[in-house]
Structure 1
Amino acid sequence: MIVDISADHPHFQYIGRFDRTDPQVPHFSWSGSCIRFRFFGSDLGIFLRHLPDDPEHTENVYIVIIDNNPPQLVHDVHEKNEYRLAENLPEAAHSVTIFRRTEAMCGVGIFEGIRLNAGGLLLSPPQLPQRKIEFIGDSITCGFGNEAASETEGFTAATEDGYRAFGAIASRKLDAEYRAICFSGRGVHRNYDGSRTGLLPELFEQIYPQSPQKWQFSQWQPDVAVVNLGTNDFANGIPEATEFIGDYSAFLGKIRVAYPAATIICLDGPMLSSDALSTCQHYIKQAVTIAEKNGDSNVFTFSLSTQGENGFGADWHPNVAQHEKNADELVAFFKEKLNW
């Protein structure tokens, strides 16, 4: 007989912010949310369900990696579905990673467990990396449109790959646990559309954007928090200095309260250019200076190279080649500044 194992089994490893109020149906929506496990057997199916936010974003996309085999894509739909991922594998121990490629605006995902062949067993989970990084940002951090062929394409879930966003790439190269708190169009002072509600500093406090439940920061503490915000604030003009610097400074203070021991790295790039870029860099440095004057010496700035020479993804966003380039730059900075 087949073996069904529900999501509340202690050998499932949840990486990211999951609402496990009902442990049999953990809910999640942040990009990069990850479920890892090991099993003994030859066949594997997973149970996923999707709660869309609106008619424009009707699916989530996941990468599933079994052992060292090429990633498989799972395009999740509304109803609970069993996705058959493997049959006739060697009857042995196998490792599995389920990684959410799409961001929170694509809706809430629900994991409901796995199905194994007769005699299959869920084994103890794999060991987590010792180092931990959280990336806090906007569409760039999400990997918005990074698989699109050109800037003329609009957003689709199919061309957003958080697994190949710069933060995820850099984390793997640094052998670090990766988490992301990111949402397209959001800023630290104002959003892309000019609104002042649902800013990233607000979303940072939530278990995921669609839930009013607050995240308990004591559950997980990163070694490094990487902030890449400002692109949306500057997208439609340069914001007033005092307001932006004040809001950015306040967010740095909020991050410090949440993560007392973490190194904070404030990024800019790769989408801004000209006066918007130089002014954003200046404002961020001013905010970091304020943090230093308030006694926080563990905050740094770093600039990612500006996009262009590698082409573009959807809606002028960085493509995978640019994400890889920026990831390499950030890895070099970690090694130089943090001796990783």
Structure 2
Amino acid sequence: MKYYLNFLLFIFCFLSLSCVRSAINFQTADTLPATALQPYGRYLVNQEQNVELISSAVHFGFTFEGEECQLFATIPNFEGHNYLQYELDGVYQKRIKISGNSLEPIQIKASNAGTHTVWIYKATEAHTGAIVIQKVTGKNVKSVKKPAQPLIEFIGNSITCGAAADPSEVPCGTGVYHDQHNAYMAYGPRVARQLGSNFVLSSVSGIGIYRNWNSNEPTMPQVYGKPDFQVNNPQSWDFTTYSPQVVSIALGTNDFSNGDGKKERLPFDSARFVSNYIAFVQLVKTKYPQAQIALLSSPMINGTNRTLLQNCLTAVKRNTDALYPTAKPVALFFFESMQARGCSGHPNVEDHAILANQLVPFFKKLLP
């Protein structure tokens, strides 16, 4: 009988200690709410106090201890999907597909139990839809702030987005448009990483200065002031959020486009292109009066159109410099001709590396 009572006492103590241990583990499991994150790029905090990642390559960082942490992310479209991608301890890992019907958190695993740093990036562009970040959980998880470095804002179209650049998971011609997006590997973020600068991308696939790939509007000058580049959004982007030292504008590819061959497409209007471009540069200068403006040509335009685009950009520079004689002169960069190897004639990730290598010396001279 005494042995039986001692056995029961042992079982009771074991269960009690197990419960205490579980309670302690639960109490010390850290949660980093979305509002504690410090995203870099265009984002919004919604009514549920979650962070909506909007623009291409908008990113945030955090640290955790141990071998894994959990990221809770959703998308508003129950039937759709979107993509994040991430760095772990300074090394790029992969894209992560987020399905609208998924309820499971994203598991981020490390190879050892030390302290690890993670940077999460949105792989897709604003028009793909927001990715909603709810929280991060893990041991001693803490938010990381971007270091104080010079900032480049890259304004552009699908090339700047990194669209159609990565068919490694979904081959060209299959899936949906954003299945091949890879903003992390686009030329802008590559340039910034090589130069040790911060960056934001303000880019929309198919967009132009006075007309788009297959429509007349809304063009970049019409949507630049909207947080998600949607012309009907009543909200305005707060341009005091960032103060870029350099604003890079790479538009024109879609203005030169012949469209889909179905809708009426008038010949390219160089006078309208130049006047609209000058007006857009003036708009940008009202947002960032001290920023250096840099105009980039297009690696996707060749032949006589390449020369015409370069002449147009030179005219934009000449007229803008005359309007602002005491400001820094507008900088020009003309890409070398390229036979792009990505989907639908876009640069792929290897092509973006080539573009970035061309641009690094140019931007290095422009940064403080």
1:302 to 305, 310, 333: 333
Gaps of 5+ in 2: 1-25, 259-265
1:249 aligns with 2:278: yes
2:49 to 4, 24, 28: 24
Q: Report the CA distance shift for 1:87/1:291 in structure 2 as closer, same or farther (over 3 A).
A: closer
Please state how far the C-alpha of 1:284 moved relative to its aligned partner. 1.4
Q: Report the CA distance shift for 1:324/1:138 in structure 2 as closer, same or farther (over 3 A).
A: same
Percentage of matched positions with identical amino acids? 26
Q: Is the 8 A contact 1:41 1:89 kept in 2?
A: no
1:121 aligns with 2:157: no
Q: Is the 8 A contact 1:8 1:23 kept in 2?
A: no
Amino acid at match of 1:133: I
1:281 to 310, 325, 334: 310
Q: Is the 8 A contact 1:138 1:186 kept in 2?
A: yes
Larger mean CA deviation between 258-267 and 208-217 belongs to 208-217
Deviation by residue 1:252-297 (Cα, 9 ceiling, x = unmatched): 0011111111111100110011122111111111111111111243
Q: Distance in 1 between matches of 2:318 and 2:213?
A: 26
Q: Give the alignment's TM-score, normalised by structure 1.
A: 0.89
Q: Report the CA distance shift for 1:125/1:253 in structure 2 as closer, same or farther (over 3 A).
A: same
Where does residue 338 of structure 1 map in the other structure? 366
Where does residue 93 of structure 1 map in the other structure? 115
Q: Counterparts in 2 of 1:305-320, with a 5 A limit?
A: 305-308=336-339, 311-320=340-349
Q: Distance in 2 between matches of 1:151 and 1:3?
A: 39
Q: Distance in 2 between matches of 1:61 and 1:165?
A: 15
Secondary structure of 2:39's aligned partner: strand
Bigger RCO (CA 8 Å, 6+ sep): 1
1:209 aligns with 2:236: no
1:145 aligns with 2:145: no
1:166 aligns with 2:222: no
Please state how far the C-alpha of 1:129 moved relative to its aligned partner. 4.6
Amino acid at match of 1:38: T
Q: Report the CA distance shift for 1:339/1:125 in structure 2 as closer, same or farther (over 3 A).
A: closer
Where does residue 15 of structure 2 map in the other structure? none
2:240 to 201, 218, 233: 218
2:153 to 134, 137, 144: 134
Where does residue 33 of structure 2 map in the other structure? 6
Where does residue 6 of structure 2 map in the other structure? none
Q: Report the CA distance shift for 1:27/1:86 in structure 2 as closer, same or farther (over 3 A).
A: closer
Deviation by residue 1:94-143 (Cα, 9 ceiling, x = unmatched): 21100111112221111111122xxx223352542511111000001011
Where does residue 40 of structure 1 map in the other structure? 65
Secondary structure of 2:152's aligned partner: strand
Q: Distance in 1 between matches of 2:48 and 2:196?
A: 29
Q: Distance in 1 between matches of 2:213 and 2:77?
A: 22
Q: Distance in 2 between matches of 1:246 and 1:183?
A: 21
Please state how far the C-alpha of 1:191 moved relative to its aligned partner. 0.5
1:110 aligns with 2:141: no
Where does residue 207 of structure 2 map in the other structure? 186
Please state how far the C-alpha of 1:71 moved relative to its aligned partner. 0.7
Number of residue pairs matched? 328
Q: Report the CA distance shift for 1:241/1:13 in structure 2 as closer, same or farther (over 3 A).
A: same
Larger Rg belongs to: 2
RMSD: 2.4
Q: Report the CA distance shift for 1:151/1:79 in structure 2 as closer, same or farther (over 3 A).
A: closer
Amino acid at match of 1:298: P
Q: Distance in 2 between matches of 1:89 and 1:13?
A: 26
Please state how far the C-alpha of 1:181 moved relative to its aligned partner. 0.6
Q: Distance in 1 between matches of 2:172 and 2:91?
A: 33
Larger mean CA deviation between 207-216 and 134-143 belongs to 207-216
Amino acid at match of 1:35: F
Amino acid at match of 1:20: V
Q: Is the 8 A contact 1:45 1:82 kept in 2?
A: no
Please state how far the C-alpha of 1:67 moved relative to its aligned partner. 1.3
Q: Report the CA distance shift for 1:196/1:126 in structure 2 as closer, same or farther (over 3 A).
A: closer
1:272 aligns with 2:301: yes
Q: Distance in 1 between matches of 2:68 and 2:351?
A: 37
Q: Distance in 2 between matches of 1:228 and 1:288?
A: 13
Q: Report the CA distance shift for 1:39/1:283 in structure 2 as closer, same or farther (over 3 A).
A: same
Amino acid at match of 2:44: D
